[in-house]
A and B are shown apart, each in its own frame.
Chain A
Amino acid sequence: MTTVHPETLKRRSMLYRKLATEGARFERTDDGAAPASYANANEVACARKMGIADLTTLPRIGFKGKDTPAWLVQHGVKLPGGPNQACLQQDATLVVRLSNDEHLLLDDVEFSGGLVARLASLWAFESDRLCYKLLREHSHFWLLLVGEYASAMLAKVCGVDMQPKQFPFGCVAQTSVARNNAIVVRSLLGTTPAFHLLADSASAEYLWFCLLDAMQEFNGGAVGLEALRALARESNSR
């Protein structure tokens, strides 16, 4: 994997300076860069317990409007049963239903799906269709909180019960995290519990600080895409 420096690219996560300070080595993601690893020999072990990864430059997109469900179904997207639910597509893209008419699509850490890119290219502003694209890859930064302590850590910053029993895979909370609006999606990386957290891009540095602080007692730390992929592969082979 070629390493790059985010400042040489147009699209930059607001966190790239902080990630660099943590020792991140970046890899190319479309027109941006994401942390591949942090030169930490125990990064996978860390991710199993409590890791935080910046996925801000990974592909994602949103669609909103009353014709959105029909348009997505027309293009082969399987929709979650109702608002505040998420479901995986065959290509590992995660579709998150935020309301009846609003959906968010998240690519996976391998960028294996291509559904996000395909839908982005298919969409056009049309007067007779109330389905509008939302630039979720810019409006929100995107973190993955991974590991067995993730729900305990979230209990320090969020008033929603995210214990596995109450908040299983596919549950979505549009809530306040550290007094900041956020979307939290319960996911799974292989068999390791994971939470996607998306919030206003302008709050990225603030929330990064809050979350790192909250995960200190669990010896949590930043992890890169390589650790996430290793974890996913390792778990899948179990």
Chain B
Amino acid sequence: MSVEERLPAPAGLLLDRSKKISFRFQDKQYEAWQGDSIASALAASGQWILSRSFKYHRPRGILSMAGQDANALVQLPSDPNTLADVTPVSDQLAVVAQNFKGSLEHDKHAWIGRFSRFMPAGFYYKAFFRPKGVWEKIWAPIIRSRAGLGVVDTNYTSGYFDKQYAFTDVAVIGAGPAGLSAALAAANGGASVLLVDENRLLGGSLTYARLAGAADAAARHREQLVSAVGAHANITVMCESMCNGWFTDNWLAVIKGSRLYKVRAKEVIVCSGSMEQPAIFRNNDLPGIMLGSAAQRLIKWYAVRPGRQAVVLTGNSHGYGVALDLLDAGVRVAAVVDMRAEPTADALSRAIADRGVRIITGSAIYEAVPDASKNHVVAVEVRGISARGRCADHGERIPCDLVCMSPGYTPAYQLICHAGGRVAYDDATSMFTLEGLPQHMHMAGSVTGMYVHESVCAEGRYAGRAALQSLGLSTEDIEPAPVRGLSDRVNFDWPIFAHPAGKEFVDFDEDLQIHDIIVSTLDGYEDIQLVKRYTTVGMGPSQGRHSALATARIVADATGRTVAETGVTTARPPFAPERIAHNAGRSFYPERHSAMHHRHLEAGAQMLIAGAWLRPAFYGEKGQRDQCMAREALNVRQNVGLVDVSTLGGIEVRGPDAAELLQRIYTFRFAKQAVGRCRYAVMANEQGVVIDDGVACRLHEQLYYVTATTGGVDRVYQSMLRWNAQWRLNVDIANVTSTWCGVNIAGPKSREVLRRLCTDVDLSSQAFPYMGVQEGHVAEIPARIMRVGFVGELGYEIHVPQHYGEYLWDRLMEVGVEYGIQPFGIEAQRLLRLEKGHIIIGQDTDAMSFPAEVNLDWAVAKEKPFFVGNRAIQEVNTRGLTRKLAGFVIEDANAPCPQESHLVLDGDRMTGRVTSCYVSPTLGKTIGMAFVAPEQAQPGSTVTIKSTNGRLVEAKIVKLPFYDPDNKRQEM
């Protein structure tokens, strides 16, 4: 059929017949209309095979035309496993089939199917492992070469994917008649409604299925509902959008194009519909055999005639609607095979009879017959049903090139299960039912087992009104929900017909036959979850959409239970395949820059990541770390250096009880700290573990400015708030980290540099001694100046309001030129503080470090009646230490410099680990700190460090600090 030979309108709802396009499939050129799917365009041209099956390489064609099966998976240039039945074809698109060897029509691996009886489910658990080594050498390479479906394009460049929140009163999932009715009812009551549907058209089954009465009854109903929805200001419509998961509190993941919508809905109405099921008989997977609804979609959506001569197998009245549509499309219907012995006569079946179509009741298709190439159905053998699942010994062969299957449905229950709903089974109607919906979730339509159009719409309206009541937008009594009637019984109880020669496929994805499911139960795997894992049923791309019901029935039968007792496997998000890019796209990774950030970059800094901060590690070429660090450190020791300390945390504690709060929060004493003085502050948790440190500066009797570590300030702030919620001290606590930025100007010439810019503070040693704090101006900027000595030299930390930071840096660097000022980075700062024996919390401590272990017992005021961690610290001190942080030097100049976490040994016994280690340019040797056993911590002891490549290095324990033990440098 060429594009011009398509069925006339109104068939072809999705086609734009003004735009003809062409594309390639398997190196052959095809024509299509704009709007065609890949599969519809191929079908229109007589190309019915789309792919080969996973295990036996059987030819596979259209099954659902709804994106619900693995038959339709094809390869696009950069997209493997694309659903050909729902993916629109585009001009010049290159499509190839998947999973075949040789040609699609003549697969060289198709012989495997002949040996299927030797490869039942689970056979790989019983094979491949003997003799020893055979798996790695023989089987794994073979299986790996054949595993998988499409081919990943490793040169693929991802497009732009992102995420967006969406908010609504009511989210309606599914825009079929129930969804449209629900949306209108909710919107009419004043709710904002988001209507989500995976298809290009609104209307669900009304776009393709046949209602009783006139041929265009469904179209007219659809037009009415869709027009009303389109005109409603309260309804937002999202077509081609897949609701892929429900999460707590009605958080819905909806994917549309390259965006993941994170929908927050106060109420959710699930109108996801139901999925037509295949019947199970021999060769039910041949191209040309499809669901009845698939044939209807081909006709109504794409104006494609699905065959020339058809047999319709049905267990409900819907099959008669399929037959009528086929007749209207010019397909000869050889017979309607109704599995029901005494089908209820209704308008559709009467219409079929009136058109002279043969109806064979109480019968089933026993076997489909392929053509000589085994690539398409050419006939079916129809036999009477002699008992449940059994056919008579003889039947009738009916030629056909199309078989439409309408044996029943399963509800699209996945979203409801994500939300905690349960799937049950009604043995009387042979249908799945749903129960246990959470609050603020409703459902309507065929997902509830409702199939009569008027009842479906009524149930939709009922759900919409129930949502309004839940929202508090309506207090009116709601008319009772419609009740399912006989006409809603659409499932034939046992459309499963075993054949002695097998090939009756239960799961098309994994080529699983009836026998495979039974074998699982015979091997002892009777629970449905175990059956799934043993056979892989439901684990393929279609995730059991067409196999769950049949599997439950077969397992129930094989194990002597009811289907209700057998149940189904768990449905988890996502409902449909989604790209990793949808989850990975446009994620946020906050990054913080200090006010001087660009000055560091301009000076050639190599930046390191510290939490969200970027900090200058050192200034110079990437490979010159050690040299740069040594040069920067020596300049601090000899001249003056400038380091950005803006990332340090800052907390202000203000009010009459400010000193009392510090007294309780920190281990040291602060009650008598003088205004204008700084004091080292160690914070412990309730377990006595050191968790942070900083400097507490008393700026006023009632005002402390406390610094905290870069990574720890948020925790310190939270801790202060939490404790004071109990203590109720009269203080105000403010995290001012972002308010202030800071630099540390350090080195013997730092005072001279600072004097050039600071005229309102006496910087002399007498007026401004070590551990003093003053407020004044630097470069005419208001500043807090602290005389502290982290790097062991005369130095000042200057903190100024954030947006003055770059100006401060510029001015200090400018006036410092004549004193040899150079910026220094975090690496040099770490080296300098190590020389001075200062620890870094988090590097020289861990989650088990008590003050005495890390030589901070001097900073613990033991006489205080209370501070956080006091009791635990006392307890630990009573018991005695099990390890101690000690300084060490390595005299051997040829020994490798140990790295952090290298082990400290005592013979074969591991006694500790290195926490910091550098080659000191000032001291001319390798120095470090390490946790060692208490008996090893005495100065003069020798320890062994297992260094790089396992080399054992002798280190001598020395007294800290390594540099300037009399503190003359920092107190000058």
Contacts and interface: CB of A to CB of B under 8 A. Distances in A.
Contacts of A125: 700, 702-703
A205 B595 CA distance: 11
Nearest to B164: A156
Contact of A206 (B591, B701, B736): B591
Contacts of B819: none
Interface in B218-235: none
Given A159-B262, A161-B167, A201 B803 contact: yes
B162 A65 contact: no
A210 B781 CA distance: 32
A178 interface: yes
A139 B736 contact: yes
B591 A178 contact: no
B730 A130 contact: yes
Interface string A120-140: 000001010010101101111
Interface of A: 9-14, 17, 32, 56-57, 64-66, 101, 125, 127, 130, 132, 134-135, 137-140, 155-159, 161, 163, 165-166, 178-180, 200-206, 210, 213-214
Given A12-B806, A127-B701, A161-B167, A135 B739 contact: yes
Contacts of B655: 65, 130
Contact of B738 (A13, A56, A202): A202
Residue among B612, B652, B703 facing the most chain A CB atoms (10 A cut-off):
B612
Interface size range of chain B in the complex: 35 or more
Contact of A210 (B588, B803, B804): B588
A133 to B, nearest CB: 10
A180 B588 CA distance: 9
A161 B164 CA distance: 11
Nearest to A65: B732
Interface string B256-300: 000000101000000000000000000000000000000000000
B146 to A, nearest CB: 43
Given A10-B807, A140-B738, A65 B654 contact: yes
Chain B interface, DSSP helix/strand/loop, else mixed:
mixed
Given A17-B598, A139-B802, A166 B702 contact: no
A202 B732 contact: no
B732 A132 contact: yes
A138 B803 CA distance: 6
Interface in B571-602: 586, 588-595, 597-598
Contacts of A202: 592-594, 613, 646, 738, 802
A201 B730 contact: no
Given A12-B807, A138-B803, A203-B592, A213 B586 contact: yes
A134 B733 CA distance: 11
A122 to B, nearest CB: 18
A78 B304 CA distance: 71
B702 A161 contact: no
B703 to A, nearest CB: 7
Contact of A178 (B264, B588, B779, B803): B588
B165 interface: yes
B163 interface: yes
A227 B740 CA distance: 32
Given A127-B702, A166-B167, A203-B592, A11 B803 contact: yes
A190 B191 CA distance: 29
Contact of A155 (B165, B586, B700): B165
Interface of B: 162-167, 192, 262, 264, 586, 588-595, 597-598, 612-613, 646, 652, 654-656, 700-703, 730, 732, 734, 736, 738-740, 779-781, 801-804, 806-807
A159 B593 contact: no
User: 7 shortest A-B CB distances, which residue pairs?
Assistant: A161-B167, A202-B592, A138-B801, A138-B802, A139-B739, A179-B588, A139-B738
Contacts of A206: 590-593
Given A138-B801, A155-B164, A64 B595 contact: no
B186 to A, nearest CB: 16
B734 A134 contact: yes
Contacts of A139: 736, 738-739, 802
A186 to B, nearest CB: 15
A134 B730 CA distance: 18
Nearest to B779: A10
A137 B595 CA distance: 14
Contacts of A134: 734, 736, 739
B780 A10 contact: yes
A139 B592 CA distance: 13
A157 B598 CA distance: 26
B592 A155 contact: no
Nearest to B730: A130
A89 B736 CA distance: 27
Contacts of A155: 164-167
A200 B736 contact: no
A210 B590 CA distance: 10
B593 A12 contact: no
B165 A158 contact: yes
A82 B614 CA distance: 38
